Amino acid sequence: MPEVCRFLGIVIGIFPREHPPPHFHAVYGEYQITVGIQSGIVSGDFPKRALRSCWSGSTCARRNSSTPGAAFRPDDPPTRLRHWSSEMIPRLAEAHYVKDFTIHLRFSDGTEGLVDLAGELYGEVFEPLRDPARFRQFSVHPEFRTLCWPNGADLAPEFLYEKVQVPA
């Protein structure tokens, strides 16, 4: 699972093989955002009170990742968020097995189509999914609204959204 931690009702997650730049996902009820670890750029929609909790976590991560070898010092003043965006974060509504390594996906914005994941099943966590019986055991993660498997494999919702083949 992509889950890194839970606090105050917020679930934080990072997906393997996700698109750059480095970022994490945060889910709070029906709200979801991504936060750039180095840039602090926030995309999505989140209540202000919950967003402040995510800012402090990303500020720590930015300090630790922007200067190699630099240690986080709790007495440093926090940096402010540089940008806010309401860019949509894809949320998977339904997923149904079709055949081989192909799944039919429907997203909450109405986008739907097929995605063939045969070329994505490499690496330690994904190789067991080359067994069709194991591959078919996927489900939609209840909070991150993306595909996940019992062995811990998962794919970022943005990745799936980009890969889905919408019929003409």
- The alpha-carbon radius of gyration of the chain (Å, integer) is 17
Judge contact between 166 and 160, C-beta under 8 A.
no
Confidence grade of residue 16 (pLDDT, cut at 50, 70, 90): low
End-to-end CA separation in angstroms for the chain: 33
Q: Please compute, for residue 10, the number of CA atoms within 13 A of its CA located in the half-sphere on the CB side.
A: 20
* Section 4-22 average pLDDT: 75
Residue 107 confidence (pLDDT) above 80 = yes
Looking at the chain, the whole-number percentage of residues with pLDDT higher than 70 is: 73
Task: Quote the pLDDT of residue 82.
Answer: 38
Confidence grade of residue 168 (pLDDT, cut at 50, 70, 90): low
* Section 37-52 average pLDDT: 76
Task: Quote the pLDDT of residue 87.
Answer: 55
Residue 127 confidence (pLDDT) above 80 = yes
Count the Cβ atoms, other than its own, within 10 Å of residue 38. Answer: 13
Residue 34 confidence (pLDDT) above 90 = no
Global confidence as pTM: 0.61
The string of pLDDT tens digits covering residues 45-96 is: 777 777 776 655 544 444 434 333 333 333 444 444 333 444 567 889 999 9
Residue 160 confidence (pLDDT) above 80 = yes
Per residue, the 3-state secondary structure of 53-107, as one string, reads HHHHHHHHHHHHHHCCCCCCCCCCCCCCCCCEECCCCCCEEEEEEEECCEEEEEE
Task: Quote the pLDDT of residue 140.
Answer: 94
* More confident of the two residues 10 and 117: 117
Domains of the chain, CATH where assigned: 3-85 (no CATH), 92-163 (3.30.2020.10)
Judge contact between 15 and 154, C-beta under 8 A.
yes
